[in-house]
Copies of this chain bind each other. A is one copy, B any other.
Amino acid sequence: MNAPTPAQHLQRPVPPAMLAALRAAFGERCNTALSVREQHGRGESVYDAAPPEAVVFCESNEDVMTVVRLAAAHGVPVIPYGTGTSLEGHLLAVQGGVSIDLSRMNRVLRLNAEDLTVTVQAGVTREQLNREIRDSGLFFPIDPGANASLGGMAATRASGTNAVRYGTMRENVLGLTVITASGELMHTGTRAKKSSAGYDLTRLFVGSEGTLGVMTEITLKLYPLPEAVSAAICHFPSIDAAVQTTIQTIQMGVPIARCELLDANAIRAVNLHSKLGLREAPMLLMEFHGSEAGVQEQAETVQALAAEHGGEAFQWAKTPEERTRLWTARHQAYFAALQLRPGCRCQSSDTCVPISRLAESINESVAEAEASGIPYWIVGHVGDGNFHLSYLMDPNDAAEAAKVEELNVRMVRRALRLEGTCTGEHGVGLHKMGYLLEEAGAPAVAAMRAIKQALDPQNIMNPGKVFALQPV
């Protein structure tokens, strides 16, 4: 499936002089092999690759500054790359240009356990971070499933399974080092927990999808490992029953740490992939964090709510190993599901609504998915009002692709009607530009455009994403 190619996607070729300068500066770290370029010009979206002309493997802020300054001098796009797990086409070089691979900027620069903060390079992945800080008694909770880089997670304002309790990247990034569109190094934020000092540049860059600058270092909040953790699964007679239980849990203020919905299709996928042997019926996978007494209290409250909706007795994952097995299976749902339909691509849509509207948001979408006859599966960070409906589509069947897109439109418009958002955590990328305009409205998109033009006047930072630079 090709990416959309509106008029704004004019190619901006890398001039030979710039390529020569990159090669002189980076040697073999400037790579123009097709396979490398193709790998860097896609992601996990349904789109075919739109490869950059070169990939530069950066190892320092100075490296990134060198690439950006050359790009600025030649008016050539740059696209930051972390682990390539984007779902919405963020990495496609739709106007050509150079991919800035940050995966070698993978050092945990500074752990301040006494302040519950850590500063990392953008290429550090969330799993690596938690491995490296394990001995501190602290952890970083944000967990979008994929072992994404923290730079990529900041760029898309990622969240995932723990966000219901610990917030998203929005709440957990304290400060940034950014290479600006002119190749200058800029710091935002401090290590203080709060500040009223000037515009909140940190949160402007978090979620900007590489379109305002390249984030190279990130200071994050950490949390003490809870004294007690317990995970449970609970089967329900219907998706609606699971969702109603979730809604009441949130409304009561239970500080549940994870509250994940899996439909029967998702369970079938993870059963096949991870040999879990779970019953293929709608299920909540939950985790509780706190003191021993606190965890028990939370679980009893939610069990009582579940029972009111026909939920079964909780099955507990008591050991860390059992919990890891369950969560690993949950995180592999995406790849597991791909195996349900050989040769398929997965078109995953991601909406988020106010918690009281979640049942309507999910139930109507499920009914449409069922009626479509196209294989689908559902998982959701339902405690946040966020869920993902993913279609397993034949990439060579244009009619099916069109049908899936139509179902997506209906699902997104439903979320907007319910006062929600077109993307809870995947970002806008290429795919949701039209939806962003519907959601935010013309004045807000005009403000975003003005900010983009002010900070990146040549439009070289990941151009062609999030919104059209000219009003459409």
Structural contact, A193 and B448, CB atoms closer than 8 A: no
- The answer on a CB contact under 8 Å between A204 and B207 is no
* Contact code string A171-187 (vs B, CB < 8 Å = 1, else 0): 10000000010001111
**Set of chain B residues within 8 Å of A419, measured between Cβ atoms:** 190-192
Residues A251 and B198 in contact, CB atoms below 8 Å apart: no
- Say yes or no: is A348 at the interface (Cβ < 8 Å to chain B): no
Distance in Å: Cβ of A194 to nearest Cβ of chain B = 5
Q: How far is the CB of A219 from chain B (nearest CB, A)?
A: 10
Bitwise, A13-56 to B at CB < 8 A (1) or not (0) is 00000000000000000000000000000000000000000000
A234 shortest CB reach to chain B, Å: 21
- For the complex, is A206 an interface residue (Cβ under 8 Å from B)? yes
A223 at interface (Cβ–Cβ under 8 A)? yes
**A198, A291, A451 interface centre (most CB from chain B within 10 Å):** A198
A454 interface residue per 8 A CB criterion: yes
Name the one of B115, B251, B353, B448 contacting A199, with C-beta atoms under 8 angstroms.
B448
CB of A129 to closest CB in B, whole Å: 18
Question: Provided the pairs A116-B251, A192-B352 are in contact, do residues A197 and B432 lie with their beta carbons within 8 angstroms?
Answer: yes
Known: A184-B443, A353-B192. A224 touches B251 (CB 8 A): yes
Beta-carbon contact of A439 and B223 below 8 Å = no
Q: Once the chains bind, are A448 and B198 in contact (CB under 8 Å)?
A: yes
A398 within 8 A of B: no
Q: How far is the CB of A454 from chain B (nearest CB, A)?
A: 4
Considering only CB atoms and an 8 Å cut-off, how many residues of chain A contact the other chain? Answer: 90
Measured in the bound complex, the distance between the Cα atoms of B219 and A420 in whole Å is 13
Q: Assess the B171–A223 pair: CB atoms within 8 A.
A: no
Indicate if A260 sits at the interface (CB-CB under 8 A): no
Q: Shortest CB–CB separation between residue A190 and chain B, in angstroms? A: 5
A-B contact pairs, 18 of them (CB 8 A): A112-B354, A157-B200, A158-B196, A185-B443, A186-B441, A186-B443, A191-B354, A192-B385, A192-B420, A193-B384, A193-B386, A194-B421, A194-B425, A197-B427, A198-B207, A199-B448, A226-B253, A451-B454
Beyond contacts A192-B354, A195-B421, A198-B440: 16 other A-B pairs, Cβ-Cβ < 8 A, are A112-B354, A116-B355, A117-B354, A186-B441, A186-B447, A191-B419, A192-B424, A193-B384, A194-B352, A194-B384, A196-B424, A197-B440, A204-B204, A224-B251, A226-B253, A291-B294
